[in-house]
Every structure is written in C-alpha cells, then in structure tokens.
Amino acid sequence: MLQKVRKLMDKGAATTNPHEADAFARKAAELVAMHRIDPERLADPAAQSELVVRELPLGRGAYVRARLALLLAVSTAHDARVVFGTTPTGTVAYVAGYAADVDVVEVMYTSLHAQAAAQMMQERRSTAAATQRFRRSFLFGYADRMGELLANSRLETEASVNAGDPAGGSAPALLERRLRVEAFAKDSFGRVRAARAPGAAQATGWRAGAEAAERADVGRARLLGRRAIGAG
C-alpha cells in the first residue's frame, strides 16, 4: 500500500498539470483511507504494526512553524501525534503513532510540502522580506485548508464504510487504536511544554495558500464509497 501511495504522490509532485496532480492525490487519499479502516485488517492482530516515534527535520528559518502546521494537518488525519524541539542542526518534529500510519504521514507530508513549495517559489513581492512574509503566510494557509480537506475525507470514508452497521463498523477498533497512540505518545514524549504562538500571517498569502490546497483535492468528493518544545 505504501509503495502505491508513494508512486501516486511522486506523480502528483512531478506533473505540471494541476488536474493530474489532483487525480493522483485523490487516488492516494482514497487508498490510504480505505486501508486504514478495513475491518479485516483491524480485526487481525498480526496486521497491526508497532508503535514508533520518528524524527522529521523541519530545518531553520521563517518557514519552520508553517512546515510544522502542515505536518500536524497530515498527522492528525492519520492518528499520529507530534511535538517538536530545537537541536543544534535545526528544528526537529517527533511523530508518534503506528509505524504504518507514520510511514504514510512521512510520504504525504513530504509530497504535499514539495508541491506547496513549488507554488510558493513562483510568488514574488516588491522586496525579499515581503516575499518571505507572503510565502510563509501561503504555507500556513495551505496547511490549514489541507487539514480541513483531510479531515473531511476521513469522516466521509468512515461514514461510507460504517453505513448500515448497527455495531458501529470500524469505529470501536479505530477508537481503541487512537487511545493506544495517545498513551504511547504521552509515555514517549514525557513532559511537554507549550511553545509560543507563531507570528501572524498575512491574509492575502493565507488565502492564496488555502486556494492552492483546495486545488490539491485529496479526495473528499471520491471518498464517499521530556522533550521541551522549542521556539521554532
């Protein structure tokens, strides 16, 4: 499944045709969502992967918190939990969850970030500082809207699969998995302190990013069938 997702996301990142990119993203989202809630897989203990914590570098500079926002959007949709911290080499995100889910998070985040970055690079303003502010706001807006789209796709998929099942379909098993992830993350991360809020984003850049995420449709129409947190 992961190999298929990676190929689809790679094709979406490679094409210059937004409609083709949308189609690849929709197919990847559909594949992931249906795999995660497959009743037979949820009922089979042997099919469950181990719980892990994985480190994902977020780099340095003005875009770190916006990258984190995108990673959070993808992680939340796949029952993974995230904290971040500063290291000598830059900011690092720590993603906790089932290995199979974290694999998907990494693949989808990497591809969506690359697609957003490619669009950001086309944006120019009157000065370098103004360009940076716009691009940062763009990525925040993209992350916010992508989070909404992923959440909607998941809800629609689960509703479709569970429709007509008086026992709630996969809902109990998914809830149990989420509770396990929550407990694992709490034990793994230990004491976590809140970071300061990121700086305000520009409205125009935010809207542009949200519109870009809207074009990167992730399948909502087709899915009916001790670590201290650093400043960043």
Within a domain: 15: yes
**pLDDT: is 76 or 152 the higher one?**
76
Within a domain: 225: no
Within a domain: 222: no
The answer to whether 76 and 148 are in contact (CB under 8 A) is: no
Within a domain: 48: yes
Q: What is the pLDDT of residues 101-126, one digit of tens each?
A: 999 899 989 988 988 888 888 878 88
C-alpha to C-alpha distance for 177 and 48, rounded to whole angstroms: 10
C-alpha to C-alpha distance for 174 and 53, rounded to whole angstroms: 19
**pLDDT: is 219 or 85 the higher one?**
85
Mean pLDDT check: name the lowest of 150-154, 190-194, 220-224: 220-224
Within a domain: 226: no
Q: pLDDT at position 116, please?
A: 87
Within a domain: 49: yes
Q: Which has the closest alpha carbon to 18: 224, 213, 206, 151?
A: 213
Within a domain: 224: no
Q: Which has the closest alpha carbon to 79: 125, 28, 33?
A: 33
Q: pLDDT at position 37, please?
A: 64
75-108: buried (b, 16+ CB within 10 Å) or exposed (e) per residue?
Answer: bbbbbbbbbbbbeeeebbbbbbbbebbbbbbbbb
Q: pLDDT at position 226, please?
A: 34
**pLDDT: is 123 or 188 the higher one?**
188
- Per-residue pLDDT at 225 exceeds 70: no
- Per-residue pLDDT at 224 exceeds 50: no
Q: Domain range holding 148?
A: 2-215
Q: Mean per-residue pLDDT for 167-189?
A: 84
pTM summary value: 0.77
Q: Which has the closest alpha carbon to 221: 26, 5, 37?
A: 26
Within a domain: 148: yes
Q: What is the pLDDT of residues 42-100, one digit of tens each?
A: 666 655 689 999 999 999 998 999 999 999 999 998 899 999 998 998 999 999 999 98
Domain count, the chain: 1
